[in-house]
Structure 1
Amino acid sequence: MLVFHGTEREKDIAELNKYDLVITSYGTAAVDITFLLTISFDYVILDEAQAIKNPFSQKFKMVMLLEAQNRLALTGTPVENSSSDLYALMNFVNPGFFGSLRMFKDNLAAKGDNEDNERAGTLLMMTKPFILRRTKKQVATDLPPKTEMTIWCEMEPAQRKIYDRYRKQFKAYLNDKIDTIGLENSKLYVLKGLMTLRQICNSPVLIKDTPDFNGHSCKIIELMEHIMEKTTGHKLLIFSAFTGMLGLIRSGLEQQGIAYAYLDGKTTLNKRKEAVANFQEKEACRVFLISLKAGGTGLNLTAADYVYLVDPWWNPAVENQAIDRCYRIGQDKHVMAYRMICKDTLEEKILEIQDKKRKLAGELIPTDEGILKSLGKDDLLKLFG
């Protein structure tokens, strides 16, 4: 086996041909695609294959160029955002299977109407011969129970006042923008508004031009209570989509003298390995702070049995991947997973919209941009109260 990665990797065909198995990353393969195209592989296997779900992405275009007798795509989330994700995955393992992307969208992709059940049935029938599905219940029958719960957080008056002020401002502004330039052209304004309100739910100090805020974040108060009092003797994973929020939690841990590990998108590979080893092996290291996108895959953290998702993500599949960092083969403890939601805010509405928008047996939940495409003006304004 050869790990083809790092600055000292040798681009020598004769050297690679000595090995039965070559392991590399999507990023490295993209950089060295010209060299890799000179090699004919028996198999090309994609792990975390949802990485190529966008047929317009460089990753998708890169893997499609590789010459291979056989192709396999491994993923726990073949459909993250919409049924269109299947187009890229199936096009990799069976090029041309769905025809053009336009044909797929016109005839098979979910449209958000009464045709969806019929289209879903057709998709399942077409792809079934090419998919081998094994759920965790089937292959890991000895896994202990997993309990998922919601922690409802109540904002203190100072935080609530700031949230309501921004919510009203954005709602009035967006109502005018949508009427003036149309819903599609208002997309960036909507995203900015949603992002700001989500940050205020975590803590008002996270937003630009921070208003005067001398209060306390209800989520940090609740989280620190759990860490200090309710989970003594246990190890915790704490995920947030915002590195700024992780920084605030980090400060709280340091003030209390609680040892922790940390990982976000800027963490180097060596530091990442070191953080995982510290958390897994050192009893004193009780907490692992992880950015949702950077740590949602590729980590085995079975030392933990408590998981906290500090802020809701649009896509529950991403949240489930985060929880599965500790709920996997090798786990021997009952896992407790908590989603932290501020009452009477955008976060609560995100959960409601997710439930309403579920398609294909509850798999198709849109991400930030996808959700805008599936909502009309009235639905979008409801997000802002």
Structure 2
Amino acid sequence: MAQRRRRSRDTRAAQPAQRRARDNDGILPVLAKAVREIETRLQRGHVERTRFHVVALLVREERARVKADATLTDAKREAQLKRLDGIATILAQTAAREPSLFNLLGEGVEVSDSARRLKREMQVAGGLEPDPVAEPARPAATLAPSDRQVVPQSVIAAQLANPFLAPDFSAAPQRRPQAGRLTGWELIEPLLRSFEDAAGGPSCMDLPESGPPVRLPAGLELMPHQARLLAAAGTGHRTFLLADEPGLGKTAQALLAAQAANAYPLLCVVPSVVKTNWAREAAQWTPSRSVTVIHGSGESIDGFADIVVVNYEVLDRHVGWIGMHGFRGMIVDEAHFIKNKKSQRSQHVLEVADRIRQRVARPLMMALTGTPLINDIEDFRAIWQFLGWIDATKPGPSLMAELEDTGLTPLDRGFLPAARQAVIDLGIVRRRKHDVASEIPARRIADLPVELDSAAARSIREAERELALRLLQRYDAAVAARAERSGTTVEGIDEELVRRVAGWELSDAAKSSSTENVFAMVRRIGRAKATLAADYAAQLARSAGKIVFFAKHIEVMDAASELFESRGIRYASVRGDQTPSVRQRNIDSFVNDPDVAVVVCSLTAAGVGLNLQVSSNVVLAELSWTHAEQTQAIDRVHRIGQADPVTAWRIIAAQTIDAKIAELIDAKASLAATALDGSGEEVGATADIQLEALVSMLTEALTARQD
């Protein structure tokens, strides 16, 4: 009997020990130990973000597993969930001491490579099947368009050297209480309309007269308008739509603003044609900062560089690592390139911007464009979203707080001017040349009508007549169909129907290879006047010095080059199919070699980012479809450093649709004048110039028929 009691006591004594042994198996004790170590290390001033993130991931996965495990008794499931709750409580308490850790608790947070490695180690220690090791990315050349992500080796080395890339929320502003007066209101449309309707002077935030001293390399100086923007960055402003007119030194301002804000590492997203120029400007204005340029898959980049320059076209390959690299500033050059929010280019830029804001409370965000409005006030949307002023549907917190402070709603008379000013104060900086750079000489646009070769002229006029006849036939058919359907007739010209017919024609032209559509006709005009434009440029070069020759189509550039070569005129060429090194060599040749008299430039490839003020004469051999593109081209010459008056000579094919296009381009200037410069002029129609040209052609044909 005594022996049985002794065995019973021994059995009872052994049971707790067995229970403790079982409790020390599995992932739970591994997580409990890890979270206690994280807590202890934080008390000593060390933040273990990677381990914190991994524990949070494993707690979430283990909780889901326990809830779904049908083999567990209710008591066992409750006990394990209780232990998981205890670990989660410690995680929350730890994050309360270090608020930046809260960002690692969300389900959508990207998992770094170092976190994946640590997670597999903890899974093995806890007796779980580790996550599979991700396969290395295939070479970029074999990637499908949807699978183009790469991580350059130099970036991996930089990440290994600094595996935590700690988020920085030290400058996070205090959240302002919101009165809620505007909750539920549609506000984006009124905000846009405030720039379309409210003439309130130039759109420029108040800039300080002076700020912290700016370090400049020897021999370089700032103009007063540039120094004032740097003062704003130096005193804490962090979002800018820098919309100075082209030629006022936006690149230098942006690079020095990043220096004033210590916004390094800095990401610069730019058009491909100016990547090399951005690297050179960075080396010139901020020589103490290292700069690297991403080409293709980025094999040659320096992952440790202070300034990373990438072009829009390859950004999609690098979105993944860029978002986690710890950038504290982002500059988007020629920001009107992202105006179409549906494009992949825009979506990648917006995604990177959002991910930077997730890691840094107040990063420096700068959108640079001298022509932020191309066709419509809606072009503002994507730029404002990049800057964080709005999201897809509503104003961001800062803008909403400013709108609430006005005490107005969109129904109130004063809302539009107040809303416009609220947006401006977030960081719109717009200065015009004649306001801030009086030493830059004036410019003028001179139209030179030319008579085309008789055969070419006859062919083009016949094509115009055929196009006008087709428009008339479509119009008449639409009128007849409406009369048959409703019994109504039209007196005079139905302007609304004219626009519809023009729209139908434009839509068909975009899909058709017919030689009679408006695009093909304008191209034919360009070819027909190519040698005439080149001949004028050659004469001008003999008498006026260096000439910048712009054309839109390759065949026009080829014809001009052949004429210059035949006359012994040395020229350089800047085209879209050149490598960056060839392009830069040709630019340097034109700028530095006194014997190179002409540079033949593509309107699309050379219309942005170049500094060609060594010349004061521009020949526009072909017309652009936008006023902004024409302005950008002229301002390669009319910019800081120019000493002579600038003349842009537009070559116009007489008695053709060319003349009408020139008129429409000039009329298009009023949109930016109203929205940004507060001119008070009436904003013209926002439809494309192609559409307006067809409307004009059909209206003239209808008028002539009535007469």
* TM-score (normalizing by structure 2): 0.45
Which residue number corresponds to residue 196 of structure 1? 520
Deviation at 1:200, TM superposition (A): 2.8
Which letter maps to 2:342? F
| Equivalent position to 1:381, from 676, 695, 698 | 698
CA distance in 2, matches of 1:256, 1:348: 30
How do 1:1-385 and structure 2 match up within 5 A?
Answer: 1-7=290-296, 9-10=298-299, 16=303, 18-66=304-352, 67-68=355-356, 69=360, 70=363, 71-96=365-390, 99=393, 124-130=420-426, 131-177=428-474, 183=501, 184-190=503-509, 193-204=517-528, 217=529, 220-221=531-532, 223-228=534-539, 231-232=542-543, 234-355=545-666, 358-359=670-671, 361=673, 370-371=688-689, 375=692, 378-379=695-696, 381-382=698-699
CA contact (8 A) 2:613 2:642 kept: yes
Q: Secondary structure at the match of 1:197?
A: helix
Deviation string, structure 1 residues 48-91 (Cα, Å, up to 9, x no partner): 21121111111211111122242221111111221111011111
| Residue identity matched to 2:423 | T
What is the CA-CA distance between 1:229 and the residue it aligns to?
5.7
Q: CA deviation at 1:39?
A: 2.2
Check 1:80–1:366 CA distance in 2 against 1; reply closer, same or farther (3 A cut). Answer: farther
Query: Equivalents in 2 of 1:267, 1:326: separation in Å?
Result: 21
Q: CA deviation at 1:29?
A: 2.3
| TM-fit CA distance, 1:353 | 3.3
8 Å contact 2:537–2:549 — kept in the other structure?
no
Distance in 2 (CA, whole Å) between partners of 1:382 and 1:230 is 41
Give the SS at the match of 1:24.
strand
Check the 8 A contact 2:441/2:646 in 1, yes or no: yes
Which whole-Å deviations, capped at 9, do the CAs of 1:243-276 have from their partners, x for residues lacking one? 1111111111111111111122111111101110
Once residues 229 and 99 of structure 1 are traced to their aligned partners in structure 2, the CA distance between those partners, rounded to angstroms, is 53
Q: Structure 1 residues 325, 272: closer, same or farther in 2, change over 3 A?
A: same
Is the Cα contact below 8 Å between 2:534 and 2:563 reproduced in 1?
no
Q: 8 Å contact 2:448–2:652 — kept in the other structure?
A: yes
Amino acid at match of 1:199: R
Higher relative contact order (CA 8 A, sep 6+): 1
How many residue pairs match? The answer is 351
Q: Distance in 1 between matches of 2:560 and 2:334?
A: 29
Quick one: which amino acid aligns to residue 343 of structure 2?
A: S
- Structure (1/2) with the larger strand percentage: 1
Give, in angstroms, the shift of residue 96 of structure 1. Answer: 2.7
Question: Are the aligned partners of 1:316 and 1:365 in contact in 2 as well (CA < 8 Å)?
Answer: no
Identity of aligned residues (%): 24
1:121 and 1:43, CA in 2 relative to 1: closer, same or farther beyond 3 A? Answer: same
Matched AA of 1:94: G
Instruction: Please give the secondary structure, in 2, of the residue aligned with 1:232.
Output: helix
Structure 2 runs not aligned, ≥5 long = 1-289, 396-413, 479-499, 511-515, 676-682
1:121 is displaced (CA, Å) by 5.9
Q: Distance in 2 between matches of 1:376 and 1:339?
A: 18
Once the two structures are TM-superposed, the CA of residue 32 in structure 1 deviates from its matched residue by 0.9
Q: Is the 8 A contact 2:295 2:310 kept in 1?
A: no
More helix by share: 2
CA distance in structure 2 between the partners assigned to 1:121 and 1:242 by the alignment: 43
Q: For residues 376 and 276 of structure 1, what CA distance do their matches in structure 2 show?
A: 35
Amino acid at match of 2:648: A
- Contact 1:349 1:383 (C-alpha < 8 Å) held by counterparts: no
Q: What is the rounded CA distance, in whole Å, between the counterparts of 2:311 and 2:451 in structure 1?
A: 43
| Structure 1 residue 238: Cα displacement | 0.5
* The structure with more radius of gyration: 2
Calculate the TM-score normalised by the size of structure 1.
Answer: 0.80
